[in-house]
Every structure is written in structure tokens, then in C-alpha cells.
Structure 1
Amino acid sequence: MRLKLLLTTAALLAGPVLAADTDEARMNALVDQAVQRYQLPGIAVGVIEDGKVVRRITRGELAVGEGAEINDDTLFKIASNTKAMTAAVLARLVQAGTLRWDDPVTKYLPQFRMYDPWVTRNMQVRDLLIHNSGLGLGAGDLMLWPEPNRFDRNDIIAGLAHLKPTGSFRADYAYDNLLYVVAGEVAAAAAGKPYSVLVRQEIFQPLGMQRCQVGEWSPAELGNIARPHYRDGNRNIAAAADPARVDDFPSMAAGGIRCSLNDMLRWMQVLLDPTQAPGWLDTTQRRALWTAHMPMPISQRLRDWDNTHFLAYGYGWRLSDMDGQWKVAHTGTLSGMYSSLALLPDARNGVVILINGEAEDARTALMQAMLKRYTAPAASHDVLHYAQRMDQDAAQRRSAGHVRPAMPDRQPVTPSVSGNNTGIWRDAWFGEVQLCPHDGALRFSSIKSPQMSGKVMHSGQRWFVAWDTQGEDAEAWLEFSGDAKHSVMRMRAIDPEIDFSYDYQDLQFQRIGDCP
């Protein structure tokens, strides 16, 4: 009897350990599947269960081939996961009585203008955060991207007045970045401090997020920074290293913060459990962040994968149901770097994924596989299952004609055949571009966005721009209309799967002069 009791006790003690080991092995296996399936240069994954950090998993290098490994303190660009931090800064200011969610934007930024004067007067601080402005998807993003460029925050605020809406104010959801830039400036004006100072003061310092960076900072002094990577066939190519000093660039409040895995886990813990930082954010403001302020359309994928019935945008967060559980999440996308963060608040569980490569499908498949362990464990699948389903979706889009047209006859446009299309052109918000001869060919070059430069080519009778640095998936048709006195140039994306931040459709250039 005594031996049996000892054996039973040992088994009971060993059971949870064995289960933990099995769970750890499964999570490691899922991460490894994502790395191998999508040939990722590097990744950092963190998992929280019942408010406690239970896993930190890192793989790969800061820059491929250079040997420095990613760890828990490596800095990643979190991109649009910045939006939740911008919203939290505003919530802290509301809590302090510095501003109100329903204050008009013009109270703090008198120069603020939208295309419609009525919208200008009625745009409230809360409206800046929930993508209900009536602007089209990604409208004006070419003032933010590609970086670096010469647009500043004043240019962005002034440019909004020239962006024509595609819908009615507060009627429909369309994701935008520019109004988060405005939100950052509202916070700065209300508090009398720059946005970057407010983020450090209201979030990083009180929550102990020690490695996070915002505004101007020194990569050379900080070190351990993941570099973005681009795909070249089967290879990952590291982007150039950061300069010795990173500037406080205009899109900071929309997607400019960098954090480590440890920082993001601390952020998640505080959001899941108020006792982690008593008094930091009261119940009213926590509820405001995670209230469904703007309904969002539910994709067929969400219906099929998660049995989703509800989807909406809060203040910097997407809110939904996943297999009957409440989910609060967001993603972040910058060229060469992807992030994803998801919380299941009722169970105080969460997952964060940081990747320094082109990894849209990778983050989707991995996050899905990780979350299903909590929302539908009996029906959970691995990364390869979701990768296959996305491949099938992509094949269906291609068969339906959603594919970049083949252009085997690409040829440079020479100055001798360019006619009246050469010259200096101007768009009201994007500014001037030149379409001028250079080294025997015609080139497109932007004054305020130097990376938007490239050779003008033709395929058949159609002209397009082959960018020097942006790649074929971002190339754009050039379309001309009008007469010699009133010439108009428009741009259209060639690839139907182009990133929405290349908002060529919002540009309308007028010819204003000859080439210098």
C-alpha cells in the first residue's frame, strides 16, 4: 500500500510536468513549421496563459548570414500595433481630464481640414481612431511610405483637405493611417509635449517597457535590432542597417514604434490584468479602448476558420469572437517586417508574433494555429494546414483573374517618343514629380518622396513606371488625358494584390511646366 501510494503521488506530480513539456514541444513545433514553410529570416513568439508569461520562443538572426541571433530583447518594428499605444496615450489624457473623446479635432489643431467642411467641423478625437472618416482604404499613405521621404506632419495635415472621400462620414469602415498621425498631434497639442515624449511618459516608463523606442533614438547605442528582409526568389536579403540616429519621422503615431518580445509581453500582461499596473488605466478607459466603436465587414475566411459573428474596431484594436471566445487583436505590416498580437481577455491568454521578413501568410497561419489551442483545442490544426488553405484561396483568386498581367514586351520609353507627356506635374497633396529625359530614357521622379523614382517603360501602347527600389509588385500604369493646355496624369496599380498603402488611385497630376 505504501509503495502504491508513493507511485501514485509520483505520477500525479509528473503529470503536469509531462503535459507542460508536451505543450512546449507543440508550440516549438508550430514555430519551426512557420520558419521552415515560409523560410523566415527570424522570429520571436511570446505566449501568456492566465496572465502569466509561459513561453518565449526565438529563432533566426538579426540579419541573415551575419551570425547575431534574435533573443527576447531584440527590437522589432511593431508597425500598426503602434496604433493601440497611440490610443492608450489618448486614454491616459482623457483619464487625466486633459481632453475628451468627443472634443472636436479643431479644438487642438485649428489648421485641420477634411475635404468636406461639415466633416471638418464634426470630426471628434474618437473619430481619428476608428477608420470611419469616409476616406478610401489607405488614402494618402504615399505621404508616409516609402520611407524615408520629405513629407512632415504639417504636410500630412494639410494634405487631408485634398483627399476626396469615397464614402460618407461615420457610415463605413475603411482602414487609414493618416488620421492616427493627426491623433498623435492632437495628443501633443493637448498635453503640450511631443508625441514621442508622451509615449515614453504615459506607457513605456510606468509599465517598465525598457527597450521600446519612439521618436528620435540611437540604434548604434542600443544595439540588438532586427533588420527587415526582402525576398529575392528563395533568398532573404537584409535591408540596409539603420543610420546611427533614427529620426522622429511623421508616421510614428500610426506605425513607428519598435519593441522587444519582452516589452510586448509586458504590454499584454498589463492589458489582460489591471493589477499588473494599478491605477495606470481605470475601468472606464479600459472599456473605451475595447468597445466596438465601428462595425467591420466579416470576411468569408473569418466565418469559415473562426465561426466569427461579430467584428468591429475599437480604439486601436480589432474586436471579434473566435469560436465563441472574445478576441482583441491587431497586426502590423511594414515592408520586410510583420507583427501580430492577439488577446483572449476572458481567459487572460495572449500570443504575440514578431517577424523580420516578408511574412503575411506566415503570421496568419502561425497565429491561427497558436490561438486554436485555446479556442478549439479538439479541432486545432498545425501551421501547414492553414498554409494550404491560404494557398488554395490564392489559387482561386488567380483563376478569377486577380493576377498581375504578364508583360513580356517591357521596353523603355525614349524621349523621342514621349511627346507632350514630359514635364513637371503636380498633385495637390503629393506635390511635384518630374517626367523628364535622363541618360537617353524617360524617368519618373518625385520631389518629396525620392524613393518613388524609376524608369518609364511601355508594354504595348501603355506606359508604366518600373521603380528603382520598390519592386515589380508596386509598379504603376501612367494614364494621360486632356489637351496641351490642361493635361492630366493619373496612376493605377498594375498588380491587383498590391499593398493598399500604394494609393495611386488618389493621385491626379496637372502639368505645370517643362523639364528643367
Structure 2
Amino acid sequence: MRNKVMGGSTGFSRSAKFLGAILLAAGSVAASAAPAKDVDTFIDALMKEWDIPGVSVAVVKDDKIIFARGYGVRQAGRPERVDENTSFGIGSVTKSFNATAAAMVVDDGKVGWDKPVIDYIPSLQFSDPWITQHATVRDLAAHRLGIDGFLSYFVRGGDLDSTVRGARYIVPQAAFGAFTYSNTGTTILGKVIENASGQSWDDFVTSRIIRPLGMKNSYSTEYSFIDQANLATCWLCALPAGRPVGIDALKDPSANVSVPHGLVPAGASEAGAEYKLQVLPWRSDRSVFPAGMLHSSARDMAQYVRLHLANGLYQGKRLVSEAQMRQLHSAQVLMTADYYSHYPEGGSTIGYAMGWQTGTYKGRRTVSHGGGRVGYNANVVMFPDDNMGIVVLQNLDYQSAFTAATISLRVADHFLNIPVSRETEQKIIARPKDWKPVSARPAECDATGSGETPSAADIAGKYHSDLLGDAEIVVENGRPALVFEPTSVADLVPARRGSFTACFRGYQPAAYPVRFTYDAANKIIGFVFAEGLHGISPLNPASQAVDYVRVQ
């Protein structure tokens, strides 16, 4: 039976199938010059199917913006329209800015791609001393560490230094040199840029990329337009009760900034609907900022695409050397995933470059990257041999509708003059019957426990992990809850053989196993968190057990 999505004030219809595949994952302007009724029709239909409040698109061809257009609204239920200058969270497209910034400090002679990272961060330690001595700046940019962690998902108040400090406690998940998508490695690269340049990451990216490209609606930090009190500051953190969200949380409500949205379970009173569209709290995470926290507009991103398509030139001025641009766009490690498989007559991903993915689409060479963060989805794809690039930004959570990349490929078909039949379009829009958004409650949180579990009173107390810091187990209405900090809380649900499942509250209700440890006298001395989970993703970021020791 199909999942039904409740109609909201945006007036969108709700039947559809999910695309179920991950995809990549100023100047002379002729915006909207080319007729694109088929593009408009496709985007309108996809937005209605997926309840996407707003989308913004820009296309660059031969160093000109030939198409720039907004669709829908900045916030569901409000009249403010999206246009090509509306700012969105761009998620992991930020990684390409980070790599571009690194290329600039290489051009400055302050960093070498193949120099050890510890030359620039002497305090850095990985859990494997060999990796500490041999990991290079190139390994960070190309995701070749074999390491990622989940330092940012539970604990608020971090910064780049906290990720550097935590790296020593992360156990490798793959062989060094193998592709392992790593927010941790990207963040450490950001710290290399800071140490080499003498500027904060925000100031460097702003002064060397954002301002020279005239990106007037781009922000290196949410603090530019949101007060800190109105931000949730880790991935699974909730916003303190009573704080404003959406446009009401902006310092300037007239600012042209889109609002994060997600699909959440509908209430019992909303008959016939399983999910409804909801404005999500703004969030920021300083501990992984270079990995995914920039905001930008489609028109601003078009300037950035112009820089890359022109191999480092912008309006006749060289910002990055051609040699370093070739490095950024050249595959450094092979990837096996096919990120284009859902799109008929699609292509494949060949490798990860530095901040970019390389591949092909319908016989054409591509350099691309996707971006997903809570409430947003973005995609940039460039066709270097056609001197064309496409930017798509949306303000619906990437795990509710991973559709930005789909729009970019359909737009590519139009501007590359590749015919697409109506039947093909319908297949692209379709989703499987068993689709569920990220807000769906994990099955583990509704499982019936078997075996005797320790009582809430026995496990209550304070605990410490070198990797994740302090945590506390408290008793609420007779039941235990695991608190990483006041707004990052998980209910401990009895599971099998005396263990528990930590079921996090909030928009993304992640589930993690918890097993308590005992001394010889059968006294609880700690717990093991996330044991047995593998694979890096926001909902399942653990690939190692985290040991907590009881301290009180």
C-alpha cells in the first residue's frame, strides 16, 4: 500500500515514487534566455510529487549564465517566493570550496599536496601511528584516510580543533588509501588551511572565494543571518523549546534565505496522511564546518561554476592556477558506486578527485558533487567538454527527497539537446511503494525486548568517552534516557539479551545499540555505544564501538 503524504498550505499533490539512489552525491548574464518549458514542467511536477517547497536552478554555458530561475516558496505556508538569488544550505558541495581553498594555499607556496598533514598540524594524531606519520594533504582532500567518525552528531559546541583532537580515538574503517567518504578528513583539511594561511576558515573562504566571485547571497556561517540561540548545534540536537524557527528566526525577516524543511509523521487527527511537510529548526555544526555548512544561491553558485569551468579564471583574473585546477578535477581514488543508475541511459561515477567526483553522463565527462544536510539538498554537475555547468538547490531534506541531482540531469538533457520522452520523465519521478522519509521511526525502537535488562536506577549516572565526551543517563517517568547534552537525548528501549537501543528524539530518530559492562562484582562500570554498526551516514555514522566509563 502506498504511503500517503498530507497536503499542506503549499497546495501540492502527494502521490509519487522515490528515486532511491544517491547521486552525486556577475559577469555577462543571459538569465532565462533560452525557452525551457519542458524544464519548468518537469520541476513543477517533481515539486508537487515530493512536496518540495522551493527550488532554484542556474545554468552556465560558455562563461555566461543562460538560465537562472526560482520555483516555489522559501517557507511552506508563507508567500515569500524563491528566486535565483535565494540562499540555501549547499551541504557537501562545501567540500569543493574547501578543496579550492586548499589549492589556493598550495598556490601560495604554504602547503604541498603530498606533504604530511602533521607538517601543518603537529598535534594531530590518528589511532594508527603509521597513518599519523604518512597521511598527506592530498589524502584528506581525496577521502583516502580510510577513517571517518561521528564526532559531530551528538555533542554540541565543537570546533575544528575538537575534530582534530578527536581523530586519535577513531578506529580506521578501511585500508589506508581506499576511498572512505570522510567529514573528519575534510574538516582536518580545513584546519590545515587555517594554520597555513593564518586566517580562520570562514575568513579565508570569504576573502579568497566568496567576495572575489561577487557571491552576494552566500554565507560561510549561519551566524551571519541567525542568532546562535536559534540554532541547533549538532546533527541530532533539538532546538530548545520556545525558540523561533523558519523566517521568524532570521535576524532580518526580509533576507532572501530559504528555510529547511522535512517530511514528518502526520498526527492521528490528520486522516489519510502518513507524512506532512514541516519547517525544521536551523542548525549549525562548527566541528565539521568545512565539510558541509556553506549557504549560497543558484546565481552565486553559477559564478563559482564559471571559475571551475574556466580552470581558475574569473572575469579575466586568475584566482587559482590552471595546474591546481587540474589537480582538483582529476580522480585521485576509484569509486565503485554507480550514482547515476536510477536515471535512464545514465552514466557512472569513476572516481573521487579533490572536493569533486568525476564520471560520465550519457557519454559526456562530468565533474560533480552533491550536498545534503538537514532540511536541504543541492547538486552541482559540470560538463567540461561542453563548457556547461548546472546548479540545483532545494529546501527539502535530502533524505526526504534526494531530487536535486535528478533535476540537474533533466536540465542537462534540455541544454545538451537530448530528447526525453514523457514516459521516461514519469519513470524518473516514480518512487517505490515502500519509501519512507528520514523521520520514520526505526523498527528497532518498536521491537519487544527479550531478556532481563538492568533497571533505570542501576544504570543512571554520569559517563565519559574520550571520543564523544561526557554523557549522562537520567530517569524520566521511571524510564532511562541517555543525554549527551540538554538537547541531544535518546530513550533507552530494552532490546535483546539485556541490552538497550538508544532511540534519539527529534526529526531524525536514529537508533544505536547500547550494551552495559560489568566488573567482577557484577557492578555496572560503563557501556558500549553503537557496537556492531557499520557504514558512515548521518543515521548510521558509527563504524566502531564507543566505550563509555562510569564516572559517577
- Shorter-chain TM-score above 0.5: yes
In the alignment, which residue of structure 2 is the partner of 1:424?
462
2:398 is the counterpart of 1:362? no
Note the C-alpha offset of 1:163: 0.6
Residues 96 and 190 (structure 1), Cα distance of their counterparts in 2 relative to 1, 3 Å cut: same
- The 8 Å contact of residues 445 and 493 in structure 2, kept in 1 or not, is answered as no
Note the C-alpha offset of 1:248: 8.2
Paired residue type of 2:149: G
In the alignment, which residue of structure 1 is the partner of 2:286?
249
More helix by share: 1
Residues 379 and 471 (structure 1), Cα distance of their counterparts in 2 relative to 1, 3 Å cut: closer
In the alignment, which residue of structure 2 is the partner of 1:385?
427
Residues 467 and 345 (structure 1), Cα distance of their counterparts in 2 relative to 1, 3 Å cut: same
206-215 or 180-189, which deviates more: 206-215
Aligned residue for 2:366, secondary structure, equals strand
Q: How many residues align?
A: 472
2:86 is the counterpart of 1:74? yes
Aligned mates of 1:248, 1:335 — CA distance in 2:
11
What is the correspondence of 1:327-346 to structure 2 with a 5 Å cutoff?
A: 327-346=366-385
2:244 is the counterpart of 1:235? no
Note the C-alpha offset of 1:122: 1.0
Residues 96 and 124 (structure 1), Cα distance of their counterparts in 2 relative to 1, 3 Å cut: same
2:201 is the counterpart of 1:195? yes
Aligned mates of 2:337, 2:419 — CA distance in 1:
24
Provide Cα deviations, 1:257-299, integer angstroms capped at 9, x if missing partner. 1111210111112221336343122210110110111111133
User: Out of 212, 219, 223, which is 2:255 matched to?
Assistant: 223
Provide Cα deviations, 1:27-56, integer angstroms capped at 9, x if missing partner. 111111210111111111112233322222
Aligned mates of 1:391, 1:363 — CA distance in 2:
18
Aligned mates of 2:135, 2:63 — CA distance in 1:
37
Provide Cα deviations, 1:223-255, integer angstroms capped at 9, x if missing partner. 22111112124421112468xxxx882322111
In the alignment, which residue of structure 2 is the partner of 1:503?
541
Provide Cα deviations, 1:323-347, integer angstroms capped at 9, x if missing partner. 2211010011111111111010110
In the alignment, which residue of structure 1 is the partner of 2:21?
none
Paired residue type of 1:386: I
- The 8 Å contact of residues 342 and 350 in structure 1, kept in 2 or not, is answered as yes
Residues 306 and 122 (structure 1), Cα distance of their counterparts in 2 relative to 1, 3 Å cut: farther
Paired residue type of 2:60: I
TM-score by length of 2: 0.77
- The 8 Å contact of residues 434 and 444 in structure 1, kept in 2 or not, is answered as yes
Paired residue type of 1:166: Q
- The 8 Å contact of residues 518 and 525 in structure 2, kept in 1 or not, is answered as yes
Paired residue type of 1:62: R
Residues 237 and 410 (structure 1), Cα distance of their counterparts in 2 relative to 1, 3 Å cut: farther
Aligned mates of 1:419, 1:240 — CA distance in 2:
33
Residues 276 and 59 (structure 1), Cα distance of their counterparts in 2 relative to 1, 3 Å cut: same
Note the C-alpha offset of 1:419: 6.6
- The 8 Å contact of residues 414 and 442 in structure 1, kept in 2 or not, is answered as no
User: Out of 503, 522, 547, which is 1:466 matched to?
Assistant: 503
Aligned residue for 2:287, secondary structure, equals coil
Identity percentage of aligned residues: 19
User: Out of 145, 149, 152, which is 1:140 matched to?
Assistant: 149
- The 8 Å contact of residues 60 and 302 in structure 2, kept in 1 or not, is answered as yes
Note the C-alpha offset of 1:475: 2.3
Aligned mates of 2:511, 2:445 — CA distance in 1:
12
In the alignment, which residue of structure 1 is the partner of 2:476?
438
- The 8 Å contact of residues 89 and 294 in structure 2, kept in 1 or not, is answered as yes
Aligned residue for 1:81, secondary structure, equals helix
Aligned residue for 2:219, secondary structure, equals coil
In the alignment, which residue of structure 1 is the partner of 2:102?
90
In the alignment, which residue of structure 2 is the partner of 1:457?
493
Aligned residue for 2:100, secondary structure, equals helix
Aligned residue for 1:424, secondary structure, equals strand
Aligned mates of 1:498, 1:229 — CA distance in 2:
23
Aligned mates of 2:376, 2:501 — CA distance in 1:
28
- The 8 Å contact of residues 338 and 363 in structure 1, kept in 2 or not, is answered as yes
- The 8 Å contact of residues 146 and 172 in structure 2, kept in 1 or not, is answered as yes
TM-score by length of 1: 0.83
Aligned mates of 1:275, 1:111 — CA distance in 2:
37
297-306 or 212-221, which deviates more: 297-306
Aligned-residue CA RMSD in angstroms? 3.2
193-202 or 460-469, which deviates more: 460-469
User: Out of 304, 318, 324, which is 1:267 matched to?
Assistant: 304
Residues 211 and 405 (structure 1), Cα distance of their counterparts in 2 relative to 1, 3 Å cut: closer
What is the correspondence of 1:389-408 to structure 2 with a 5 Å cutoff?
A: 391=432, 405=443, 408=446
What is the correspondence of 1:165-204 to structure 2 with a 5 Å cutoff?
A: 165-170=172-177, 172-204=178-210
Aligned residue for 1:457, secondary structure, equals strand
Residues 280 and 471 (structure 1), Cα distance of their counterparts in 2 relative to 1, 3 Å cut: closer
Aligned residue for 1:353, secondary structure, equals strand
Paired residue type of 1:353: V
Gaps of 5+ in 1: 1-18, 398-402
Residues 275 and 424 (structure 1), Cα distance of their counterparts in 2 relative to 1, 3 Å cut: closer
Note the C-alpha offset of 1:173: 0.8
Provide Cα deviations, 1:78-126, integer angstroms capped at 9, x if missing partner. 1111111111111111112222212221111111111111111111111
Aligned residue for 2:404, secondary structure, equals helix
Provide Cα deviations, 1:485-509, integer angstroms capped at 9, x if missing partner. 6544232699x99944642343422
In the alignment, which residue of structure 1 is the partner of 2:167?
160
